[in-house]
Structure 1
Amino acid sequence: MNRSLALSHLNSTTPGKDWQCSRESCYFAPTSTNLCGSRGSSQGDRILSRTLELKEKIGYVRVKAATFAMLGQLLADKKGDFDKALNYLHQSLDILQHLRSPEADKVRKIIARVQQMAGN
């Protein structure tokens, strides 16, 4: 479906003011008016609030995974503490696999490198 056809279809079902468009793409940016019919409605506020909470948690978990990976690398490279390093790296890998993140492949490679350094 070409962009103008897609936009006309979307705009026919959704108020246009909630679509944010650039030359490359468009995305829906709903307001609580769209979600519940009246601005300031508690149902819409709850939905938006919950969405923000979930985004925050996902972001927090990704930061946690990155922190574990960095700690693991530092412990292996600077301290030679391979057991602790691998523990942190595996925690990072578990999180990234749960999130189905492509970053999991990078952590797998780091684990393989640390295991090789440790002589495993």
Structure 2
Amino acid sequence: MRIGVLAAGAGVSTKAVRFYEQAGLLPAPPRTSSGYREYAPQAADRLAFIRDAQAAGLTLGEVREVLRIRDAGRAPCEHVGALIAEHLRAVERSCCGSPRRRRRPTRAPARRTTSAAS
């Protein structure tokens, strides 16, 4: 499939497809006799993964590492879990500070009731 069809199907621009190819995230496809890139159908799945991984907060370097593991025939689940856990810790640190500095939830002061029978 040509780059425009691939890009539209994956929800990215043709410029993004070329960028991912240059960055080593998407293997360079063979070219037709007229010089057009001819992508295999699996490229659409790979692009969708790259897009979704970035949306989840993974850097391109992290995405590249996950793809390297997968391309080697191993399941990257454990690695992805560790990456997501580290990202979550980073978000918690930036939002809440260190665990020692976090505020404890405060309770609302108890209301005093006045008795009407005084």
TM value normalised by structure 2: 0.29
Q: Which has the higher helix share?
A: 1
Q: Which has the higher strand share?
A: 1
